[in-house]
Amino acid sequence: MKVTRVDKSNSNGTGLRGTFTSTYQNIVDKLGEPDGKSGDLKSIASWTVKVNEKFLSIYEYKSSVEYLGDKGKELKDIKEWNIGSNSFVWSDIKILMEFLEKK
């Protein structure tokens, strides 16, 4: 199955489906640089992908220095990421996780 990076506008309507652990650099190596920050800084890094005609989003949420100040983490140090989708097709999420874990 193919994982394809798509425009952030395709993430509209996605909701939290779970979390996973990865380094920021690993995600960048696999998907490229993130989309921009949200206007309220609740998320400073996100990616939108397409798997099997479904849109999924990977994003940091409320854990950055930009949002939390001294209690937050620098982007390069964030390891906990959220995954959102506009469906509950777990097999698509599994495909994305396998793609990110591939060496």
Share of the chain above pLDDT 90, in %: 67
Amino acid at 49: V
Which residues fall within 8 angstroms of residue 65, CB to CB, at 6 or more apart? 72, 73, 74
Q: 75 pLDDT exceeds 70?
A: yes
Q: 91 pLDDT exceeds 80?
A: yes
User: Are the beta carbons of 98 and 22 closer than 8 angstroms?
Assistant: no
Domain ranges of the chain: 3-101
Task: Encode burial over 33-66: b for 16+ CB neighbours within 10 A, e otherwise.
Answer: ebbebbeeeebbbbbbbbbeebbbbbbbbebbbb
pLDDT at 1: 66
pLDDT tens per residue, range 17-61: 999 999 999 999 999 999 988 888 899 999 999 998 889 999 999
Q: 90 pLDDT exceeds 90?
A: no
Tokens 């690993």 -> residue: 26
Share of the chain above pLDDT 70, in %: 98
User: Are the beta carbons of 67 and 32 closer than 8 angstroms?
Assistant: no
